[in-house]
Homo-oligomer: A and B are copies of this chain.
Amino acid sequence: MTINDIAREAQVSTATVSRVMNNKAVSTDRKARVEAAIAKLNYVPNRMARALMSKSSHAIGVLTTSMSNQYYMEITEVIERRFRDKSYMQFLCCTDGDQERERTYIADLVSRQVDGIIIIDPALENIDSGYLKAMAGQVPLVLVHPLAGVTDIDSVVIDQQLGMARVMDYLAGLGHIDIGFVGGVVGYSYSLKEDAWRRAHVEAGRDPAKQLLVHIEDANTENAVSQTRLALARLLNSGTVPTALFACNDLMAIGILEAAAEVGLRVPDDLTVIGHDNTFLAAHNKLTSVDLKMKSMGLAAADLLMHVMEGRDSEPRRILLTPDLVRRETSARPRSEDGTHH
C-alpha cells in the first residue's frame, strides 16, 4: 500500500496525492477523489520515506539512567506530553549509567535522524564533555543534570548546592548549630550536597570535620531505609547527637525517623530531620524535604530543545532551576535554645 496505489485508485499523479496529504493547493474534486481513495484503501503514508526527503524524522531521543525510577521518569513524562502536541515521538533509551552504552545510543539516534536528543544523567560529571560538545554540533542536544559545571552546552540544571544552602539557612534560622549529614556513596550528586553542607558550616565559623557525617552503602535501593535506621540508631545512642540531620534522599530520612523512634528521640522536639527529593513518602511522613521540581525540569528541557531545534544559532543556554524547600512537621527549633539564634 503506497502512494502509487492511491494515485491509481484516484486517477491522479502521485504528486497530487502528496499534495493532498500535505495540504498544498489541489482542486476540490481531485482532493475529494484522493481522500476517498485514502479512506477506502486505509492508507497510511510511510514516514521513513517522507523523512528521507524532509530530513526530519519528527522524532526525538531521550536518554535516561533508569526507567524504573519514578523520580526520573517524571521528567520524561513531561517531555513526552510536551512533544506529542507537535506529533513528535520519542525514543526512550535506558543507559543504566553506562557511558559506553550512552555513546552507542547517541550514535544510533543520530543515524535514525532524530530531530533532537535530551540526556538525563545525574552522573554526567563523568562524561567526556568534548564528546558531548561535538555531538551538540551534529544534532540539537540538551542536557539535564545536577551539575553546575558544564556551561557550553544547552542544559537544564538544578542547583542542588543552592538547595542545600537553603536548607542550611533554614536550619540556621531555626537556631540549629549541630547539623549532621547523611549521604550515599560518593561520585553522584551526593558530593555536591556534602560540599554545600561543609561550606555552610565553614561560613558559620564551625569546623565541619566535627559534625556528624554518615555514608550509607545502598542509599539508592530499597534497603536505604533499614540501613539508615541501623546505622543511625547506633550513632544516636552513643553520646552527643546533633539537633538536626539532613539526609540526601527521603528514604534515608525515613530511616532516621525510625532510628529516632527506636532510641526514644522525639521528632522534631529532640531532633529535626530533613529529607531530599520530596517524594510522596515525604508527604506521607510529614517530612520536611527538598523538592527538585522534576516536572519543571522536564518542561524546561522540552522547551529548550524545541528552541534549539528551531535553529536560531544562539549561544548555548543554561537554565538554572532552584530546588524548593517544603516545610512540614519534622523540623523545628532545637529544644534547648528557645531564643532567636543567628
Docked-complex contact A46 and B91, CB < 8 angstroms: no
Does the CB pair A44–B225 fall under 8 Å?
no
> Given the complex of chains A and B, what is the CA–CA distance between A67 and B120 in angstroms?
15
Task: Evaluate whether A45 and B111 lie within 8 angstroms (CB atoms) in the complex, with A66-B77, A68-B74, A69-B70 already known.
Answer: yes
CA–CA, A68 and B74, complex, Å: 5
Report if A155 contacts B (CB, 8 A). Answer: no
The verdict on A18 contacting chain B, using a C-beta distance below 8 Å, is: no
| Stretch of A51-59, A122-130, A190-198, A305-313 lying at the B interface | A51-59
Chain B residues with Cβ below 8 Å from A90 are 91-92
- Report whether over half of chain A's contact residues are helix, strand or loop; otherwise say mixed: helix
| Contact status B108-A93, CB under 8 Å | no
In the complex, chain A residues 87-112 whose Cβ is within 8 Å of any chain B Cβ: 87, 89-94, 107-112
* Distance of A284 from chain B, by nearest CB (Å): 6
Copies in the complex: 2
Chain B residues within 8 Å of A112, by CB: 47-48, 59, 89
B80 pairs with A73, CB closer than 8 A: no
Contact flag A67-B76 (CB < 8 Å), given A48-B112, A87-B108, A91-B89: yes
When chains A and B are docked, how far (Å) is the Cα of A110 from the Cα of B280? 37
Contact of A89 among B51, B81, B108 (CB under 8 A): B108
Asked if A226 is an interface residue, CB under 8 A from chain B, the answer is yes
In the complex, which residues 179-236 of chain A have their Cβ closer than 8 Å to any Cβ of chain B? 222, 225-226
Of chain B, the residue at the smallest CB distance from A77 is B67
Interface size class of A (residues with CB under 8 A): 35 or more
Task: Give A67 Cβ to nearest chain B Cβ, in Å.
Answer: 4
Considering only CB atoms, which chain B residue lies closest to A254 in the complex?
A: B284
Residues of B with C-beta under 8 A to A91: 59, 89-92
Interchain CA distance A77-B225 in the complex, whole Å: 24
Q: Which residues of B contact A150 (CB under 8 A)?
A: none
- Residue in B48, B92, B107, B283 whose CB lies within 8 Å of A48: B48
Closest to A258 in B: B284
Chain B residues contacting A44 (CB-CB under 8 Å) are 107, 110-111
In the bound complex, do residue B81 and residue A73 qualify as a contact, i.e. CB atoms below 8 Å apart? no
- Give Cα A326 to B87, complex, Å: 43
Which single member of B45, B46, B47, B222 contacts A280 (CB below 8 Å)? B222
19 pairs of residues in contact across A and B, judged by CB atoms under 8 Å: A44-B111, A48-B51, A48-B112, A48-B113, A52-B52, A67-B73, A67-B77, A69-B70, A77-B94, A80-B94, A81-B94, A87-B108, A89-B93, A89-B108, A90-B92, A222-B280, A222-B283, A222-B284, A226-B284
**For the complex of A and B, 9 pairs with smallest distance between CB atoms:** A70-B70, A222-B280, A67-B77, A92-B92, A44-B111, A48-B51, A47-B111, A47-B112, A68-B77
